[in-house]
C-alpha cells in the first residue's frame, strides 16, 4: 500500500542527492545503508532476505547461499534479485491479466502520476527515441509515446510474454510504440540507439542492478538520460517500518482477491534488501552514469532516480 503525496506532481523539487563519477563510484565505496535503521529492519525497512547473504564491503550478493537471518539482524543491501529470471517471468505472466487493477488498488491510483514524473525526468522531446525496459502492461511506454509523438519511437521490452501480450492488446492505437519480449540485461539493440531509457518498478526484479543500469546506459546516446522509478523505504524510519509491515501483509491479501496470493507475496520479498536511494545513486554511478540524482515520491515509498550518459 502506498500513501498519497500531494507533492507528487511537483517535478522540480530540490534534488536530495547528486553525484558524479568524480566523487562516488564503484562497489568498493558502497556503504551498508543499514546504519540508520532500527533492529530488524533492512535498508528497505522489510524483513531480512531469507535467501541471500551479502558482503557488506563490496555490496555483492552471494546468491548461492541460503541464509536465514536471526530476528533483529540488519542485513546489508543486495546487488541483485536472487530469484531466477525464469521464475520471475512465470510469476509476471501469471499476474499479467490482473496487474493493472492490482496496481490501481495498491497505489490508490497514484501510479499514473509517478509515471508522468518519470517521463518528465527523461527530458525527451517530440520525435525522440526511447526504450522502456521491464515495461509490464505498457503504461509508462504509452505515456512516453505521447511525449515523443507520432514521429518519435518507443521500444518497450519485458521478460514476460504475458505482459507483452497485455501491453500490445492495450496499445494498438499508438503507431510509434513497439513491444518486444527481451531481457533487461541483454537488450538486442545497438549502442547509443536511444535518447533516453526508463525502467519503472522493474529494477528490483533484475539479478544484477548495476548490470541493469550498464545495459540501459549502453543503449542511450551520450548526454541522454536514464530514469528509474522504483519502490523505496519511506522516512522517517518508524513510518518505513509501519509501511513495510503493512505492505508485507496486504500485498498477498490483495493478491488473493484475484487468486494470485503467491505471486503477490513475491512483491514485498523483491523489495527486501533492495538498495536505499543513496545506495542506488552509487549503483548508477558505478554503471558509468553521471549527474545522478533522485527525489522521493509518496512520502518516500517511491524513489525517482535519473542519471546522464557520459558525453
Ligand X SMILES: C[S@@+](CC[C@H](N)C(=O)[O-])C[C@H]1O[C@@H](n2cnc3c(N)ncnc32)[C@H](O)[C@@H]1O
Q: Which residues bind ligand X (CB under 6 A)?
A: 85, 88-89, 92, 133-136, 139-140, 158-160, 163, 183-185, 200-202, 205-206
Q: How far is the CB of 57 from ligand X (least distance, A)?
A: 27
Vertex 79, ends 309 and 184: CA angle to 5°?
Answer: 55
β-strand pairing of 60-62 with 53-55: antiparallel
C-beta separation of 251 from 260 below 8 A: no
Q: Which residues of 35-66 are buried (b: 16+ CB within 10 A; e: fewer)?
A: eebeebbbbbbbbbbebbbbeeeebbbebeee
Question: Toward ligand X, which CB reaches closer, 34 or 80?
Answer: 80
Question: Toward ligand X, which CB reaches closer, 119 or 129?
Answer: 119
Q: How far is the CB of 8 from ligand X (least distance, A)?
A: 15
Question: Toward ligand X, which CB reaches closer, 37 or 203?
Answer: 203
Question: Toward ligand X, which CB reaches closer, 37 or 106?
Answer: 106
Q: How far is the CB of 238 from ligand X (least distance, A)?
A: 27
Question: Toward ligand X, which CB reaches closer, 179 or 243?
Answer: 179
Q: How far is the CB of 66 from ligand X (least distance, A)?
A: 21
Q: How far is the CB of 217 from ligand X (least distance, A)?
A: 16
Question: Toward ligand X, which CB reaches closer, 89 or 144?
Answer: 89
Give the C-alpha separation, 105 to 36, whole Å.
Answer: 31
Residue number with the smallest Cβ distance to ligand X: 136
The DSSP 8-state label assigned to residue 195 in this structure reads E
**At which residue does the C-alpha cell 522502456 appear?**
132
Q: How far is the CB of 196 from ligand X (least distance, A)?
A: 15
C-beta separation of 20 from 282 below 8 A: no
Measured CA to CA in angstroms, residue 195 lies from 155, 183, 289 at distances of 12, 20, 14
Amino acid at each position: 500500500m502506498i500513501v498519497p503525496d500531494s507533492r507528487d506532481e511537483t517535478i522540480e523539487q530540490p534534488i536530495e542527492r547528486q553525484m558524479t563519477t568524480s566523487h562516488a563510484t564503484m562497489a568498493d565505496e558502497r556503504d551498508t545503508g543499514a546504519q540508520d535503521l532500527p533492529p530488524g529492519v533492512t535498508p528497505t525497512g522489510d524483513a531480512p532476505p531469507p535467501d541471500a547473504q551479502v558482503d557488506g564491503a563490496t555490496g555483492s550478493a552471494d546468491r548461492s547461499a541460503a541464509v536465514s537471518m536471526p530476528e533483529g539482524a540488519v542485513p546489508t543491501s543486495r546487488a541483485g534479485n536472487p530469484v531466477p529470471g525464469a521464475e520471475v517471468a512465470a510469476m509476471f505472466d501469471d499476474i499479467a491479466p490482473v496487474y493493472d487493477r492490482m496496481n490501481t488498488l495498491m497505489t490508490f491510483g497514484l501510479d499514473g502520476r509517478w509515471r508522468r514524473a518519470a517521463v518528465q525526468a527523461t527530458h525527451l522531446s517530440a520525435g525522440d527515441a526511447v526504450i522502456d525496459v521491464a515495461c509490464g502492461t505498457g503504461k509508462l511506454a504509452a505515456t512516453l509515446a505521447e511525449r515523443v509523438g507520432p514521429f518519435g519511437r518507443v521500444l518497450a521490452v519485458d521478460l514476460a510474454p504475458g505482459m507483452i501480450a497485455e501491453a500490445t492488446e492495450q496499445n494498438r492505437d499508438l503507431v510509434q510504440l513497439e513491444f518486444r519480449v527481451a531481457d533487461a540485461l541483454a537488450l538486442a539493440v545497438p549502442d547509443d540507439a536511444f535518447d533516453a531509457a526508463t525502467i519503472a518498478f522493474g529494477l528490483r526484479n533484475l539479478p544484477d542492478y548495476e548490470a541493469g543500469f550498464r545495459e540501459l546506459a549502453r543503449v542511450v546516446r551520450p548526454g541522454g538520460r536514464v530514469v528509474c522509478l522504483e519502490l523505496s523505504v519511506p522516512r522517517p524510519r518508524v513510518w518505513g517500518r509501519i509501511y513495510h509491515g503493512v505492505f508485507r501483509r496486504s500485498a498477498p491479501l490483495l493478491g488473493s482477491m484475484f487468486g494470485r496470493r503467491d505471486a503477490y507475496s513475491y512483491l514485498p520479498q523483491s523489495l527486501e534488501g533492495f538498495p536505499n536511494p543513496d545506495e542506488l545513486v552509487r549503483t548508477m554511478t558505478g554503471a558509468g552514469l553521471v549527474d545522478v540524482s533522485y527525489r522521493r515520491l509518496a512520502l518516500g515509498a517511491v524513489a525517482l532516480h535519473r542519471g546522464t550518459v557520459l558525453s
